Amino acid sequence: MSTSLKLILGLLLIGSLLLAYLAPPPSRQVALRVRGALLVVGLLCYVIAAVALTSGSILAGVLALAIASELVCAAGWLGRGDSPGTDEDDDGGGGGGGGRGPKPPPRDWDWDAFEHAFRRYARDRDRQPV
């Protein structure tokens, strides 16, 4: 395999990983079935690549590895588009605790003061029954 092809495949993999982890998540949620199918096909391509590489077919193995990596990166990126679930019982009650919280730590990162404020918040907050 030529050096230029190795370089192109390496850059493609690095670019895909960077996009999967650093790019903004998709604007809408993608069905779990689609993400799961991408992941399963990607894992299957890894198995095909392992078989091809052990049988001596380097080019087929490398291409299967590249396809598998792209599919797994795509599944990971699409998985980042999950939005938090909605309140399906339509009671409109929401949830969560009160709006009081510990004050943020000062800019000089006084961790003792932060811990003290957090413990005071944990002790004094409004607790809701389960």
Where are the chain's structural domains? 3-79, 99-130
Q: How far apart are CA 24 and CA 77, in angstroms?
A: 9
Q: pLDDT for 19-74, tens place per residue?
A: 888 888 888 888 889 999 999 999 999 999 999 999 999 889 988 999 999 999 99
pLDDT of residue 85: 47
Amino acid at 19: L
pLDDT of residue 8: 86
pLDDT of residue 82: 62
pLDDT of residue 105: 56
Instruction: Give the predicted TM-score (pTM) of the model.
Output: 0.57
pLDDT of residue 58: 87
What is the mean predicted confidence (pLDDT) over 86-107?
58
pLDDT of residue 64: 92
Reduce the DSSP state of residue 108 to 3 states and report it.
coil
Residue 96 Ramachandran class (φ > 0 left, ψ -120 to 50 alpha, else beta):
left
pLDDT of residue 43: 94
Could you tell me the pLDDT band of residue 123, with boundaries at 50, 70 and 90? confident
